[in-house]
Chain A
């Protein structure tokens, strides 16, 4: 007769280190021991994660053929477990020695906080790791994330970060890649951490037992104290929804809440800074107070009459009308574009501004003043980075951009300046904001064209491959677009575009772009004309480069010079009339020096070279320095005089010049009270960047005009070199 089966017991009884314990069925040996006060060392396991049994440090003797990893071995009834026998300890020590052999001792974590779990345990077991040969090929570091430093050399492949990212945070960014000596952790498709979809929640960092993933913090920067900014307070703000409290705890002091009174200036244009701002309450007014206009060319700075005149009248601004025709708006580091004729904009709650200054340390592009009493958040780049990666915040930013900023942004791009509202509405749903880390390639020359881009934040480097090497065609800043040639032409990219710094672009997929252009043939015609013009320029340039001996020329950055100042040394009597004429034309400050590279009997004098890699363009916060179609570098008249281009020019060919304008700056004007009308009339001095402008208000450059010996000539570089080559 069959007896009915007894119900399975819900507990099991086993012996651990001579101690009889009873635990629920399914409990692991590790947990059974811990529940009964017996500590088993482990590295790859922590209580809030599903055990993986990869480090094997928790090995115990359960009486079988091999030792078992306690963290994954279920407890069984009648099992006899020994955790601290001599043999088990020896096996553990060997494991620790093997791990230590590959571990940089002390690792970053041990250096900073002294709590590297591996090194602590190894020290307890006196496992130094010098019994085994060390790895010869370094596993490297990944410094791309602003918040987390990845030191692959310190990784013990415990998978705690992988499980934290996937199981705890459901981000699924980190995984294992490779095998054997090549094994390691990877982000997405083995991308740099900063370029991956990592949201910098910090969970991997707090899970890591070693110094493989550590908090970077922001070194050397500190915010002035503001209102209380405890983690709990921050997490209650909608802007921090979804941001890891762990991260905020680790980066205490990197974000501050501030009250700004009405009329108070938050920052001035041209100032350097390192923070971004997010408006919680109130309205900010953002403006460019520097007048539009260039420093006027003076008619002679020597002679009693001219000196007197210059003293009395001062230098004037001068508008180059022909250059302003296409621009209706000026792009700045904020989600608004400023109208050229009235450069004042409003920012309200939910607006984030100052991102380029914060991420790439560019000067402030405009002056920010509180239009009403404001409550704002000021943050350092690590917090901004986390916010920008936060899915909730990104969605909000994207939406705000589509609804509010897209239209004015598009209108800053000359080819879209006249598009209809219908066109904008059609585009609104098609755009996507995409971020790129510094150095990341957006597309390469020869790639299939799959999208059209508008620069929103940061700089894009556009370069082409030539026989003499890479040639930088342009640095595109906010208000520029790229990628249209490939889409309208043969379907292949004609240049390589990469992110120069922290870049954000508006991406329109190829299909959407084509559909849109079909719907709006007028815009298509404009784009096709520009595309054809750029292609023609490329062909001309390629021809020039292919026919000219360029080694030294390229090295000196002279290749793209459309107007080199060349002195024929066989004619030049070294009288310096060219230099003094230049100084006369530009307020006593010469923009050329009679020194430089010698080619045959010619001297390439030092004046603006319009370099092939025009570093002066990098970082202009208002995009005022650019190449013309002729490749000459020009400074637009909305330059705010921050001086970054002058600092960046390796040849010292950009100067800052002062000139007087009437009336105080807009922010000063606002700060003036009633009854101070006289102050409003006071003249002030502003600065503008200047470089050789070929004396464009004269028919001929002054340096050439003033040379009595027919020695100074402005020449096209390629023609000049071609002539030399034929000699």
Chain B
């Protein structure tokens, strides 16, 4: 979600609420006898308000489960989550009188801080990263389908290599497997390929290209680096005849596509990764705050 001028009404309203809370807090903190505390009337009001805003923010995930219920546009809920969730943070501080407290209260302060920071990080990522993905991944695919596309790429590469293998040639253009006149055939043409070139291509495919295509991600794979990949294919072209140039081009394109998929995966993980922190801690926070409230009110 881009945070642009369409967010201005939310920013203004949130800012106004914050100022209101601040205006109430200043005399309260200056003139209260024991200083600001969570147990005072105003402190409780801040605490309850902060907790309600947290609950509202958490309801976004419920709203997302019931996508077609006409209970307000998802976009409105998302903006409310962002700005009202953010507003809960100063309210909690007003509630605690800017004290980090001890025990459970301290833990809660840490958790709420992490939740808020992770949320802000998420908002920043969602602001910048969609454009980055659009620019860096021109042939984007559906994220859930990436592994399927990867399997298809591997299949295509195997087929390409298979088409160079005499045993699998559908036209039966069999060629001696050794000697200087050894021939490899593609499905469309029979090409003369020296034993050296054949070995080189097969070895590069088996040792480097195939593992890279089969591997999820790019860690430890030399082909993951574009410059290295280009250099390897360029070297291969010097020993292979022009007639299999198209096969090499296709293999190089397949590797390029795999790199795009890996990049998309990586960017997508970055875009969604903060949720792994934000969501569990949010639920933990809500639970612990409820416990904190019960304990504080009871004891």
Least CB separation from B64: chain A residue: A577
Is the beta-carbon distance between A300 and B78 smaller than 8 angstroms? no
- A324 interface residue per 8 A CB criterion: no
Q: Given A303-B66, A705-B73, check contact A595 B141 (CB 8 Å).
A: yes
Q: Which of A574, A698, A707 is B74 in contact with, Cβ under 8 Å? A: A707
Main secondary structure of the interface of A (DSSP, over half): loop
Cβ 8 A contact of B2, one of A300, A303, A571 = A571
Q: Given A569-B130, A577-B64, A585-B68, verify A707-B143 contact (CB < 8 Å).
A: no
Q: In the complex, how many residues of chain B place their beta carbon closer than 8 angstroms to a beta carbon of chain A?
A: 30
Q: Does chain A have a CB within 8 A of B195?
A: no
Known contacts A595-B142, A708-B77, A708-B78: does B133 contact A569 (CB below 8 Å)?
A: yes
Q: Determine whether the beta carbon of A708 is less than 8 Å from that of B65.
A: no
- Give the Cβ gap from A530 to chain B, nearest Cβ, in Å: 37
Judge if A584 is at the interface, Cβ distance under 8 Å.
yes
Minimum CB distance partner of A569 in chain B? B134
B70 at the interface (CB under 8 A from A): yes
Report whether B6 and A710 are in contact in the complex, using a CB–CB cutoff of 8 Å: yes
A512 to chain B: closest CB distance in Å?
A: 54
B246 contacts partner chain A, Cβ-Cβ < 8 Å: no
Quick one: given A570-B2, A573-B1, A698-B70, are A707 and B75 in contact (CB under 8 Å)?
yes
Q: Say yes or no: is B31 at the interface (Cβ < 8 Å to chain A).
A: no
Most buried by B among A574, A598, A706: A574
Q: Are B67 and A581 in contact (CB under 8 A)?
A: yes
Alpha-carbon distance between A601 and B77 when the two chains are bound, in angstroms? 25
Q: State the total of A-B contacts with C-beta under 8 angstroms.
A: 86
The answer, among A571, A574, A594, A705, for a CB contact under 8 Å with B68, is: A705
Q: In the complex, are the beta carbons of A581 and B75 less than 8 A apart?
A: no
A574 touches B133 (CB 8 A): yes
Chain B residue, CB-CB nearest to A706:
B67
Nearest-CB distance from B168 to chain A (Å)? 32
Interface centre among B74, B129, B133, B272, by most A CB within 10 Å?
B74
Q: Is A302 an interface residue, CB under 8 A from the partner? A: yes
- Closest residue of chain A to B69 (Cβ to Cβ) is A300
Q: In the complex, how many residues of chain A place their beta carbon closer than 8 angstroms to a beta carbon of chain B?
A: 33
Contact present for B67 and A577 (CB under 8 Å): yes
Residues of B within 8 A of A302 (CB): 65
Asked if A580 CB lies within 8 Å of chain B CBs, one says: yes
- In the complex the two chains form, is B70's CB within 8 Å of A705's CB? yes
Nearest-neighbour CB distance to chain B for A468, whole angstroms, equals 26
Residue of B nearest to A306 (CB): B66
In the bound complex, residues from chain B placing their C-beta under 8 Å from that of A585 are 68
Cα distance, A520 to B73, chains bound together (Å) = 53
With both beta carbons as reference points, the residue of chain A lying nearest to B144 in the complex is identified as A576
Contact between B133 and A594 (Cβ–Cβ < 8 Å)? Answer: no
B1 touches A571 (CB 8 A): yes
| Residues from 670 to 727 in A contacting B, C-beta threshold 8 Å | 695, 698-700, 702, 705-711
B131 on the A face (CB < 8 A): yes
Q: Does B163 contact A (CB under 8 A)?
A: no
Q: A574-B133, A574-B143 are in contact. Are A299 and B74 (CB under 8 A)?
A: no
A572 beta carbon closer than 8 Å to chain B: yes
Q: Does B134 contact A709, Cβ atoms closer than 8 Å?
A: no
A709 contact from B65, B68, B75, B143, Cβ within 8 A? B75
- Is B268's beta carbon under 8 Å from chain A? yes
Most A CB contacts (10 A, CB to CB) among B60, B66, B68, B126 go to B68
B271 within 8 Å of A by Cβ? yes
Question: A408 vs B66: C-alpha distance in the bound complex, in angstroms?
Answer: 48
- Which residues on A sit within 8 Å (CB–CB) of B134? 569-570, 601
Residue interface bits B127-170, CB-to-A below 8 A is 1, else 0: 00111011000100111100000000000000000000000000
Chain B residue nearest to A595 (CB atoms) is B142
Q: Which of B1-55 contact A (CB under 8 A)?
A: 1-2, 6
Contacts of B126 in A (CB 8 A): 573, 709
Residues of A within 8 Å of B64, CB to CB, are 577, 708
B82 closest partner in A (C-beta): A708
B251-273 interface code vs A (CB 8 A; 1 in, 0 out): 00000000000000000100110
Do residues A303 and B65 form an inter-chain contact, with CB atoms below 8 A?
yes
Complex CA distance for A709 and B75, rounded to whole angstroms: 6
- Most chain A CB atoms below 10 A, which of B67, B73, B126, B129: B67
In the complex, residue of chain A having the shortest beta-carbon distance to the beta carbon of B141: A595
Q: Across the interface, do B75 and A584 meet the contact criterion of CB distance under 8 Å? A: no
Closest to A601 in B: B134
A577 touching B74 in the complex, CB below 8 Å, given contacts A570-B131, A601-B134, A710-B1: yes
Question: Which residues of the other chain, B, contact A569 by a CB distance below 8 angstroms?
Answer: 130-131, 133-134
Using Cβ atoms and an 8 Å threshold, which residues of chain A touch B142?
576, 593-595
Complex CA distance for A570 and B60, rounded to whole angstroms: 22
B69:A571 contact, CB within 8 angstroms: no
Cβ proximity bits B73-113 to A, threshold 8 Å, 1 near / 0 not: 11101100000000000000000000000000000000000
20 pairs, A vs B, C-beta closer than 8 Å: A300-B66, A300-B67, A302-B65, A303-B66, A573-B129, A573-B130, A573-B271, A574-B271, A576-B144, A577-B67, A584-B67, A595-B141, A595-B142, A705-B74, A706-B68, A708-B64, A708-B74, A709-B1, A710-B1, A711-B130
Apart from A300-B67, A702-B67, A709-B126: 12 A-B pairs, beta carbons within 8 A: A302-B65, A303-B66, A569-B130, A570-B2, A571-B1, A571-B2, A573-B271, A576-B144, A707-B74, A708-B78, A711-B1, A711-B130
Q: Which 4 A/B pairs are nearest by Cβ-Cβ distance?
A: A708-B78, A581-B67, A706-B67, A709-B1
Which residues of B are interface residues toward A (Cβ below 8 A)? Answer: 1-2, 6, 60, 64-70, 73-75, 77-78, 126, 129-131, 133-134, 138, 141-144, 268, 271-272
